């Protein structure tokens, strides 16, 4: 499996909140979640309770979408990543690595009782106007990265 383009990873690591999109019976929902990135696994780690709407929906339908973006009014600096993938609650060694990474990034989370989740991207599209207006970096799990 090819890793995402380093510019996509750089933006992922620079930010800490993603908007997670779930759905139930074709009715969408979004929620903002703090995340950490696990390099070796190419996955996002986030927390949410099982009784939240997005937690219930993700538990019932693992196919989710997400985005990360830089909020700016300067058109030439617009950056954003759209993500499609699956989410699940990690177990075993992945749970250990996910917990360690998440708590390193958000140490105050030790005080919370919540559930760790992993979002495994199958595709990511980054718009980066710094590379030229509307320039896209696209990564797909089975194809690697391409530029459009």
Residue 72's pLDDT is what?
83
Residue 147's pLDDT is what?
61
Task: Determine the Cα–Cα distance for residues 43 and 45; give it in Å rounded to an integer.
Answer: 7
Residue 100's pLDDT is what?
95
Can you list the domains of the chain with their CATH numbers?
6-147 (2.30.110.10)
Residue 64's pLDDT is what?
97
Characterize the bridge pairing of strands 115-128 and 43-48. antiparallel
pTM (predicted TM-score): 0.91
Residue 134's pLDDT is what?
75
Task: Determine the Cα–Cα distance for residues 108 and 87; give it in Å rounded to an integer.
Answer: 23
Residue 145's pLDDT is what?
62
List of the chain residues with pLDDT < 70? 1, 144-148
């Amino acid at each position: 499996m090819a890793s995402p383009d380093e510019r996509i990873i750089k933006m992922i690591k620079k930010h800490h909140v993603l908007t997670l999109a779930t759905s139930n019976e074709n009715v969408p929902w979004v929620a903002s979640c703090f995340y950490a990135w696990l390099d070796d696994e190419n996955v996002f780690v986030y927390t949410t309770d099982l009784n939240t709407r997005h937690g219930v929906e993700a538990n019932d339908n693992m196919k989710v979408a997400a985005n990360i973006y830089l909020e700016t009014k300067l058109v030439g600096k617009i950056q954003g990543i759209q993500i499609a993938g699956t989410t699940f609650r990690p177990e075993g060694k992945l749970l250990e690595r996910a917990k360690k990474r998440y708590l390193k990034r958000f140490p105050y989370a030790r005080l919370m009782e919540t559930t760790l989740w992993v979002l495994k991207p199958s595709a990511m599209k980054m718009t980066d106007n710094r590379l030229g207006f509307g320039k896209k970096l696209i990564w797909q799990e089975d194809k690697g990265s391409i530029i459009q």
